[in-house]
């Protein structure tokens, strides 16, 4: 049974609920080794401050920060960090396989006015993930309300991303193209994934587990079996892609 210290912030009710959904492995404990840090503005300072007393940190839905600031934070934090990102949960295995088969990919994004930068960061993160390791923005242009970018990476396939501000519901829609295709639609509260091949289209099962509960499970597992955590590094990669756009 692992003690979970839930820091103050908008995420705390969600994390209290998540702890209640892990009755055999977690319990609320202000002095516990897993410390949840709310991802509202100012989170880098809070994360660094909490690192001294934590075995594993959970960063809850971080807002966007400058890549340089995040680099400094990552250098200062010496404990594993789990990053809860509802819009950037790992792809299901089957989806990851299909994504790797695509010969090109397209990302369309409707950016909300509030939290715009975090949505763009996450959309770029998906684009970069499909492009492969060392993904980089190789061409881009900005309009008053949007951005257009081409990314490439180790997979040597082009990934085209188009994002613009919208008063409508925010959305990230990723499509890989080719003989087998992946479609992923990420909304505020829900992610849906489809694959398609010659046999037809398949809707992959929804993940009904909350992202907070999944984050706590990862944190508990990390505490028991420490391994290099790359979730903060992944966040940093995504922020670097956003920084490259200057939007």
Partner 1 sequence: MSIGVGIIGAGPGAGALHIPTSARLGEQFRVVHVSDSGSGRAVALAARSGARSSTGVAELLADPAVEVVVIVSPPEQHAAQVRAAVAAGKRGILCEKPLALTHEDVDAVIAECRAAGTVLVVGTNHLYDPAWLRAKHHLIARGESIRQVSVTVSLPPNDQYHAVVTETAAASGAAPRGAPDWADPRVAAAIVRRLIIGLAVHDLPLLRDLAPRLDRVVYARPVAPIGFVLGYRAGEALVQVSCVMAPEGAEALWRLAIGTEGDRIEIAFPPAFVHSCGAAVTVRHAEGRVTEYPRDADDGYVELWRAFSALLDGAEVVEYAELAADAHFAVELADAGAAVIGGGS
Residues that bind partner 1 (CB under 8 A): 103-104, 106, 108, 110, 138-141, 143-150, 152, 157-158, 160-169, 171, 173, 175, 177-181, 196-198, 200-201
Checking DSSP bridges between strand 181-186 and strand 191-197, what pairing results, if any?
A: antiparallel
**Which C-beta is closer to partner 1: that of 71 or that of 141?**
141
**Which C-beta is closer to partner 1: that of 110 or that of 236?**
110
CB of 66 to partner 1, least distance (A): 24
What CA–CA distance (Å, rounded) separates 157 from 155? 6
**Which C-beta is closer to partner 1: that of 90 or that of 162?**
162
> Which DSSP string corresponds to 207-233?
--S-HHHHHHHHHHHHHHS-----HHH
**Which C-beta is closer to partner 1: that of 36 or that of 186?**
186
Continuous H helices in the chain? 12-20, 43-51, 67-76, 93-99, 116-131, 211-224, 231-245
**Which C-beta is closer to partner 1: that of 41 or that of 104?**
104
Residues with Cβ within 8 Å of 2's Cβ and at least 6 positions away in sequence, in order, are 25, 26, 27, 32, 33, 34, 219, 220, 223
CB of 159 to partner 1, least distance (A): 8
CB of 177 to partner 1, least distance (A): 4
CB of 115 to partner 1, least distance (A): 17
CB of 244 to partner 1, least distance (A): 14
């Amino acid at each position: 049974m692992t003690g979970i210290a839930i820091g103050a912030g908008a995420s705390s009710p969600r994390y209290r609920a998540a702890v209640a959904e892990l009755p055999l492995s977690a319990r609320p404990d202000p002095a516990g080794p897993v410390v949840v840090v709310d991802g509202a503005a100012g989170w880098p300072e809070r994360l660094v401050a909490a690192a001294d007393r934590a075995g594993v940190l959970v960063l809850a839905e971080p807002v966007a920060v400058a890549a340089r600031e995040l680099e400094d934070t990552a250098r200062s934090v010496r404990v594993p960090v789990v990053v809860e990102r509802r819009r950037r949960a790992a792809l299901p295995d089957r989806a990851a396989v299909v994504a790797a088969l695509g010969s090109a990919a397209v990302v369309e994004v409707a950016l909300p006015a509030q939290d715009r930068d975090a949505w763009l960061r996450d959309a770029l993160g998906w684009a970069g993930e499909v492009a492969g390791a060392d993904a980089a923005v190789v061409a881009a242009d900005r309009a008053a309300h949007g951005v257009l970018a081409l990314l490439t990476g180790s997979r040597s396939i082009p990934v085209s991303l188009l994002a613009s501000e919208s008063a409508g519901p925010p959305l990230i829609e990723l499509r890989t193209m080719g003989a087998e295709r992946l479609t992923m639609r990420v909304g505020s509260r829900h992610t849906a994934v489809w694959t398609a091949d010659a046999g037809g289209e398949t809707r992959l099962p929804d993940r009904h587990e909350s992202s907070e509960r999944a984050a706590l499970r990862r944190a508990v597992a990390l505490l028991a079996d420490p391994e290099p955590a790359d979730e903060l590094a992944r966040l940093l990669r995504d922020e670097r892609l956003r920084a490259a756009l200057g939007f």
